Amino acid sequence: MDIKLCFYDLLRSTNETAAAAAAEGAAEGTVIVAARQSGGRGRLTRHFVSPEGGLYFSLILRPAIDPGCAAQLTLLAGVAVAEAVNYLYETDKAQIKWPNDILWQGRKVCGILSEAALNETGIDYAVIGVGVNVALKAEDIPADLQGIAASLSVETGREVTPRCVLDEILRRFDDLYEEWLQKGAAPMLERWRRLSCTLGAQVRVLDDGRELCRGTAVAVDARGALQICDEQGSCKTFDFGEISLR
Ligand code: ATP
C-alpha cells in the first residue's frame, strides 16, 4: 500500500476528517494524523481524551472483501499496535483486550475505532482510527480515567516520539493487511491470540450497562467473534458491536 501522511495540529476527530476525505475519493493508504483532537471518539459516541503528546491517526482502506469481514480490521490494527509497542519499548506488556483496546498491565494505552461505508458492490471505504497514549503527562489523564488509562512514557520512563510509533504501526499494519487480503484471517488471528489478555479471563458482557452474561472467554473464532462459557458449560458467541467487556 502506498502510504500518504497528512498532518494537522488540531482536528475534532481524525476519523471524521478521514471519512470526509474518503468520501471525496482519497486513496487507500491515506493517513490523517493530528497532534491533538478536540472531539476524539470511541465506540458508541464515547469521548477519547486526546491531548498533545499522544498519537492520533486514521488510515483509509478500500479492501475488496465481503463487508462481513470488515470488523476484523479492528483486530488486525490491534495486532499491529501491540506488536509495535512491544517492539519499540522492548517488552511484552502490551496486550489486546477484545475487541479494540490495547492495555499495558491492565490499563488502556490505545483505543481503536474502525468504521466502514458500504456501496452497491461492497465496502466503499474503511477508516481505522487509532489513538495511542505515547507521551501524555500523568496530569493530562483526567481524574475519572486514572486507574483505567495509562501513558507509555510514564509507564516506561522512555521517550519514543509519536512519529516513531506511527511509522512502526503502519509498517506492521501494511504487512498484516497484505497477508490478510491474500490468506484470510487465520494468520492474523493466530498472532492476535498470542497477544490477547481476554482469552482465559473471567469476563462480564455488558450491553449499555446491562449484563448479558458472565463467564470465561474461551475462544476467538475464525471470524473474530468471542466465545464465552459460563460455569454450567453453556456457551455464547458475541460479535463486535454494541457490547463491552468487564
Ligand atoms: P469498553 O471497554 O466498554 O468496550 P472501549 O474500551 O471499547 O469500551 P472506546 O469506546 O473504544 O472504549 O473508547 C472510549 C473509552 O476509552 C472512554 O469511555 C474512556 O473510558 C476511555 N478513554 C478515553 N480517552 C482515553 C485515553 N486517552 N486513553 C485511554 N482510555 C481512554
DSSP per-residue string spanning 83-124: HHHHHHTT-S-EEEETTTEEEETTEEEEEEEEEEEEETTEEE
Q: Do the strands 107-119 and 101-104 form a parallel or antiparallel pair, or are they unpaired?
A: antiparallel
Helices (H), the chain: 14-23, 72-88, 152-156, 162-183, 186-195
Distance CA 218, CA 215 (A): 9
CA of 46 to the centre of ligand 1 (A): 7
CA of 71 to the centre of ligand 1 (A): 18
pLDDT tens readout for residues 144-167: 999 999 999 999 999 999 999 999
Distance CA 189, CA 193 (A): 6
Task: State the pLDDT confidence band at 242, using cuts at 50, 70 and 90.
Answer: low
Query: Could you identify the atom of ligand 1 that is nearest to the CA of residue 206?
Result: 3
User: Percent of the chain beyond pLDDT 90?
Assistant: 89
| Domain-wise residue ranges, the chain | 4-195, 202-245
Helices (H), 131-161: 152-156
Q: Do domains 4-195 and 202-245 have the same CATH topology?
A: no
User: Percent of the chain beyond pLDDT 70?
Assistant: 99
Q: Which triple of cell numbers denotes residue 44?
A: 458508541
Q: Is 110 in the pocket of ligand 1 (CB under 6 A)?
A: no
Tallying the residues shown for the chain, one arrives at 246
Residue 147 has phi, psi (to 5 degrees) of 95, -20
Distance CA 244, CA 10 (A): 29
pLDDT tens readout for residues 9-65: 999 999 999 999 999 999 999 999 999 999 999 987 899 999 999 999 999 999 999
Which residue has the least CA distance to atom 14 on ligand 1?
A: 42
Which residue has the least CA distance to atom 6 on ligand 1?
A: 101
What's 202-245's CATH class? mainly beta
Query: Could you identify the atom of ligand 1 that is nearest to the CA of residue 246?
Result: 2
Q: Which triple of cell numbers denotes residue 175?
A: 504487512
CA of 111 to the centre of ligand 1 (A): 6
CATH T-level fold of 4-195: BirA Bifunctional Protein; domain 2 (3.30.930)
